[in-house]
């Protein structure tokens, strides 16, 4: 674990990336991109998580902003660390500045491997409520999209700041964008219901004030929008400086964002994962037993049938909203 400053003296920022294009592609307020830009300015490298081979999510390395784009956006599935930890070690030994971002357990794993915090290494842990395995994800996506899926976004700001995304599929030989939302996706619904995470996530030791990263970043869900004076429509990041190293970067973050200093309690109150691990619902056993015995197709079918009416209503409402937005531009 990082040598955390006491909770009361940590700077807690609500921040929105001043680069509007990057902000639109980020899940929250773009804090990750802001920190990455700083490291690239120092000729450093950035590690983050991306779809690296079809539906496989893994830890990847970027030397510049082009490489960063695949890392942007939350992928709600366990990411494969591959040989990233050893690669970070090589970069540090070569004298490169390194930013490593990931779930708190990944950051802690990296620090354990390196023997603790290192000069030249900046770590960013994301607020995390748990991850399903890649096996469950791939099985669900295979059922939902068969082999038509070209790309997937769990969060898409064109749908507003929230848990709605989109997919690009191949339909009759033509690329088509379709919504990807808990309203219509069994996988996304189960992810938000929290009953398909890995067992260890329900006992997560990082879901509290003791954080492994120099920074903790997440969605500032609980923000008092009026009090902060910030525009929440395109997302706001919570940025918590856990260490002295992180505190030195606060002036830089302020220079690159619209920001407001907020009480840490405000961030914690709006975000259960800064207080305790996700509770383990009893339905987890049922889902996993049925997945094993009956297969994902049966569960998906059941979900589709039970949500047929509500999903049709939601799709119709969404179409009207998008039509009006097209006509009135808002
Ligand atoms: C599995 C998961 C659960 C989350 N749960 C919460 C939550 O409960 N509350 C909350 O406030 N925020 C949560 N977040 C964080 C939030 O969704 C944003 O990822 C975070 O605020 C960064 O957004 P951004 O706008 O700064 O940048 P973005 O550009 O959107 O950055 C995405 C960042 O997330 C990392 N990332 C993406 N997918 C993964 C993955 N599978 N494993 C590890 N790292 C990944 C990228 O490397 C990058 O650092 C979660 C994210 C993930 C991936
Ligand atoms: S909930 Fe905890 S254990 Fe699970 S992925 Fe997130 S940080 Fe790791």
Same domain, 19 and 154: no
Residue 54, both tokens: 């079809």
State the pLDDT at residue 194. Answer: 96
**Ligand closest to CA 273:** 1
**Tens-digit pLDDT profile for residues 230-268:** 999 999 999 999 999 999 999 999 999 999 999 999 999
Counting atoms of ligand 1 from 1, which one is nearest the CA of 28?
A: 25
Q: How far apart are CA 273 and CA 211, in angstroms?
A: 12
Counting atoms of ligand 1 from 1, which one is nearest the CA of 78?
A: 41
Same domain, 110 and 163: no
Calculate how far, in angstroms, residue 232's C-alpha sits from the geometric centre of ligand 2. Answer: 27
> H or E element: which one contains 328?
helix 308-328
Same domain, 141 and 177: yes
Same domain, 290 and 319: yes
Q: How far apart are CA 111 and CA 132, in angstroms?
A: 23
Domain count, the chain: 2
Residue 1 lies in a domain: no
pLDDT in tens, the chain (330 residues): 556 666 668 999 999 999 999 999 999 999 999 999 999 999 999 999 999 988 999 999 999 999 999 999 999 999 999 999 999 999 999 999 999 999 999 999 999 999 999 999 999 999 999 999 999 999 999 888 877 889 899 988 877 787 788 889 888 888 988 889 888 899 999 999 999 999 999 999 999 989 999 999 999 998 988 888 999 999 999 999 999 999 999 999 999 999 999 999 999 998 999 999 999 999 999 999 999 999 999 999 999 898 888 888 888 888 887 777 776 665
What is the full DSSP assignment across 229-292?
Answer: T---TT--EEEEE-SHHHHHTHHHHHHHEEEEE--HHHHHHT-GGGTSPPP--THHHHHHHHHH
- From the centroid of its chain, how far is CA 124? 12
Calculate how far, in angstroms, residue 294's C-alpha sits from the geometric centre of ligand 1. Answer: 32
Q: Which domain holds residue 258?
A: 9-128+206-274
Same domain, 74 and 20: yes
Averaged pLDDT of the chain? 92
Same domain, 149 and 234: no
Counting atoms of ligand 1 from 1, which one is nearest the CA of 126?
A: 15
Same domain, 256 and 109: yes
Calculate how far, in angstroms, residue 189's C-alpha sits from the geometric centre of ligand 2. Answer: 19
Same domain, 31 and 100: yes
State the pLDDT at residue 309. Answer: 83
Calculate how far, in angstroms, residue 243's C-alpha sits from the geometric centre of ligand 1. Answer: 20
The answer to whether the CB of 105 is under 6 A from ligand 2 is yes
Same domain, 106 and 49: yes
Same domain, 172 and 305: yes
Per DSSP, the three-state class of 149 is strand
The answer to whether the CB of 164 is under 6 A from ligand 1 is no
């Amino acid at each position: 674990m990082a040598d955390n400053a006491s909770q009361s003296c940590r700077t807690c920022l609500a921040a929105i990336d001043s680069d509007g294009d990057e902000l639109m592609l980020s899940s929250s307020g773009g804090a990750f991109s802001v920190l990455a830009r700083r490291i690239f300015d120092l000729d450093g490298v950035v590690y983050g998580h991306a779809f690296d081979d079809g539906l496989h999510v893994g830890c990847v390395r970027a030397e510049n902003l082009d490489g960063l784009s695949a890392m942007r956006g939350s992928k709600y599935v366990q990411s494969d660390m591959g040989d990233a930890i050893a690669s970070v070690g090589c970069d540090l030994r070569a004298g490169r500045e390194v930013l490593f971002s990931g779930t708190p357990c990944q950051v802690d794993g990296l620090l354990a491997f390196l023997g603790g915090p290192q000069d030249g290494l900046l770590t960013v842990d994301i607020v995390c409520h748990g991850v399903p395995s890649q096996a469950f994800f791939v099985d669900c996506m295979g059922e939902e999209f068969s082999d038509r899926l070209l790309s997937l976004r769990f969060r898409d700001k064109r749908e507003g700041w929230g848990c709605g995304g989109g997919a690009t599929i191949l339909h009759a030989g033509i690329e088509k964008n379709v919504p990807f939302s808990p309203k219509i996706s069994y996988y996304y619904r189960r992810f938000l219901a929290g009953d398909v995470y890995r067992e260890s996530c329900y006992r997560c030791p990082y879901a509290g004030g003791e954080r492994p990263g120099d920074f903790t970043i997440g969605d500032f869900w609980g923000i008092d929008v009026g009090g902060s004076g910030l525009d929440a429509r395109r997302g706001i990041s919570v940025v918590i400086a856990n260490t002295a190293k992180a505190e030195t970067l606060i002036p830089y973050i302020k220079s690159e964002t619209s920001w407001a200093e907020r009480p840490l309690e405000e961030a914690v109150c709006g975000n259960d994962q800064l207080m305790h691990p996700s509770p383990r619902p009893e339905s987890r056993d049922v889902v996993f037993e049925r997945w094993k015995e009956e297969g994902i197709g049966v569960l998906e079918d059941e979900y589709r049938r039970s949500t047929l009416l509500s999903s049709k209503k939601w799709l119709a409402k969404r179409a009207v909203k998008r039509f009006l937005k097209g006509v009135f531009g808002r």
